[in-house]
Chains A and B, each alone.
Chain A
Amino acid sequence: MSEVRFTDQHEWVRLEGDEATIGITRHAAEQLGDVVFVELPQAGRKVGAGGEAAVVESVKAASEVYAPVGGEVTEANSALEAEPAKVNEDPEGAGWFFKLKLSDKAEFAKLMDAAAYQEFVKGL
């Protein structure tokens, strides 16, 4: 049973047990345009909630991707290095960025659910 939450920085987190999978939202992927490069964190790196964890680049823009929740990185989606286009094709599926072992579940609970995020995007 997994649950997905969103941040106002346009990241999503899917929680399964204490494993969080993180990526950027469809809205963010559309705003960025064609993604050409991603820089991913190495497994074992510890990041705090809101800390810079990855970089995503399109032709014209580069953006930091923040860890919505804190924890230790367990895996990066190395498929994106060869095929950054996956971020555009399936941002909330095959285009995930990295997984981490969540250190504090309360951080997850604070994030927006899908409906709240939809409202948030509408208001931009």
Chain B
Amino acid sequence: MSMNSQGRPSHSGSAQGHELPTISGDRGLDLEARLIFEIGRSGVTGVDFPDVKVADARLGGLRRKGAVGLPGLSEPEVIRHYVRLSRQNYAIDAGLYPLGSCTMKHNPRLNEKMARLPGFGDLHPLAPRAATQGALALISELMKWLTTLTGMPAVAMSPKAGAHGELCGLLAIRAAVEARGEKRNRILVPESAHGTNPATAAFAGFIVDEVPAKPDGRVDAAALKAKLGPDVAAIMLTNPNTCGLFEGEIVEIAKAVHEAGAYFYCDGANFNAIAGRVRPGDLGIDAMHINLHKTFSTPHGGGGPGAGPVVLSERLAAYAPLPLLVSDASGFRLIEDRDELPEGAKPFGRMCAFHGQMGMFVRALSYMLSHGRDGVRQASEDAVLSANYILASLKDVMSAPFGDGPCMHEALFDDTFLEGSGITTLDFAKAMIDEGYHPMTMYFPLVVHGAMLIEPTESESKESLDRFIAVLRGLALEAKAGKRERFDGAPHYAPRRRLDETAAARKPVLRWKPDALPQAAE
């Protein structure tokens, strides 16, 4: 028998804790990345272009005199850098991402493929009409889906995000009020509203008047009605609301609002709970933005781009902003100027250059066609079912302020269950990171103390939900037992420990500067 004793050892070694810092600063698959400005240098590039000389004659005497100051990197360096950075992010593709009100559902890859078809991705916004008929047909088809699902007659497609859609809706309301020769400058906003609602109302030149919530988490309809008057332009209500509850008195509220001569703006951030089952148009809503990046699965991309088309009632449709999409026997056409308006159209203005987030339109329609009306409805039902399953499975160990009845697509907890433990909502959320989960939305809505808003979406299997529930139960029980080890200073296993936000805000360093220069001139 001959034996090779030079082979590598095959035992797994000790599994004892090993806290020795590494020489490199990296740890296994946990790889650090310096700034591109620190790794780049001159004389290197990641693209190959010829060195063409140009004369100054046609540059108006404004040729750049100094360098921009950009670092040079080769392609492999750029790829390694951004791959390393990407690995420091949590993502819905990697795990459950229960951010309430943000709707982190699965982002189908078919959508990405469709948006990249050259006929969409490489199409110029001002190409001649004949060259863009397919794109305009796609927008028209998406408009049909949005108006049909919401039961509303019209939709403005250009708003670029939810908050931009809110602005669009309020500007339409402002135009309608002015067209009636009235002066209405007040907007009623429930105190549970997302911060964009009051910010948008103020941005659009209105005075914000807050409406209190009832103890059951819904808007106080009586208080709201009492605030209605000849100076109220609109109410802005989120439904399902930010506590994850359906505003059951909505039809009655809408009626009162209309009787007072005001308009009803609905924040459609939570449309994903009711799409395919309830039509906002049937509830008396006059305007509602739809976050395509929430309900219709376009990716969040680390913070945008979003898209926020706004559906409009008959009373507001005429005021939709430019451009308008129309069709006749010769095909589709964009109306981009006031001089070409169809009869009755009184656009309040323009939200942005060109025609909106086409790339998001393609993705959203790809999702809608894939699901179909039956799938859209099933998705809403599964989202609501999953949230209720979480609520039912956790409310005995956590505290659910409105846990007596069913919730919609998200389950709201507060920090009552942490009372006396010295553990905060923040600590609890950060401990979830160590368990491999993205934390839920915390400290929002503001109407409950230490809020934890969990939105599982329809994209999780039962097994995934059960595992998540088991982990949260485990954490809640330890917290209540006063076992603080997992919570103090969590997260322990993330690429970074807790970051010093105070230092960041007191002495803002908002860009890299070469060492030779002093940091942020004070």
Contact = CB atoms under 8 A, between A and B. Distances in A.
A34 B522 contact: no
A74 B502 CA distance: 30
A36 B505 contact: yes
B64 interface: no
Contact of A84 (B443, B501, B506, B522): B506
A59 B522 contact: no
A60 B442 CA distance: 12
Interface in B461-505: 501-502, 505
Contacts of B443: 60
A82 interface: yes
Contacts of A60: 443
* Overall SS of chain B's interface: helix
Q: How large is the interface on A (under 10, 10 to 19, 20 to 34, 35 or more residues)?
A: 10 to 19
Contacts of A58: 502
Contacts of B501: 59
A82 B522 contact: yes
* Overall SS of chain A's interface: loop
Nearest to A85: B506
A66 to B, nearest CB: 19
B465 to A, nearest CB: 31
Interface in A43-82: 57-60, 82
A117 interface: no
Contacts of A37: 505-506
Contacts of B522: 82
B506 to A, nearest CB: 5
B126 to A, nearest CB: 42
A48 B443 CA distance: 34
Contacts of A85: 506
B207 to A, nearest CB: 15
Nearest to B501: A59
A85 B500 CA distance: 14
Nearest to A57: B505
Nearest to A34: B502
Contacts of B502: 33-34, 36, 58-59
A35 B222 CA distance: 39
B384 to A, nearest CB: 31
Contacts of B506: 34, 36-37, 84-85
A37 B508 CA distance: 11
Interface string B423-444: 0000000000000000000010
Contacts of A36: 502, 505-506
Interface string B402-414: 0000000000000
Which of A36, A58, A60: most chain B CB closer than 10 A? A36
A82 B506 CA distance: 8
Contacts of A59: 501-502, 505
A31 B522 CA distance: 28
B509 to A, nearest CB: 13
Contacts of B505: 36-37, 57, 59
A36 B443 CA distance: 20
Interface string A8-52: 000000000000000000000000011011000000000000000
Which of A34, A37, A58, A60: most chain B CB closer than 10 A? A34
B208 to A, nearest CB: 15
A84 B505 CA distance: 10
A93 B443 CA distance: 32
A60 B501 CA distance: 9
A124 to B, nearest CB: 14
A39 B195 CA distance: 22
Interface in B84-135: none
Nearest to A59: B501
A119 B506 CA distance: 33
A34 B505 CA distance: 10
A90 B522 CA distance: 23
A33 B443 CA distance: 16
Interface in B438-464: 443
A84 B503 CA distance: 11
A1 B154 CA distance: 70
Contacts of A57: 505
A1 B131 CA distance: 83
B420 to A, nearest CB: 19
Interface string B498-522: 0001100110000000000000001
A36 B506 CA distance: 5
B429 to A, nearest CB: 14
Contacts of A82: 522
A30 B143 CA distance: 52
A84 B522 CA distance: 13
A95 to B, nearest CB: 14
B510 to A, nearest CB: 14
Given A58-B502, A59-B501, 14 more contacts: A33-B502, A34-B502, A34-B506, A36-B502, A36-B505, A36-B506, A37-B505, A37-B506, A57-B505, A59-B502, A59-B505, A60-B443, A84-B506, A85-B506
17 contacts: A33-B502, A34-B502, A34-B506, A36-B502, A36-B505, A36-B506, A37-B505, A37-B506, A57-B505, A58-B502, A59-B501, A59-B502, A59-B505, A60-B443, A82-B522, A84-B506, A85-B506
Interface of A: 33-34, 36-37, 57-60, 82, 84-85
| 5 tightest Cβ-Cβ pairs between the two chains A and B | A36-B505, A34-B502, A59-B501, A36-B506, A59-B505
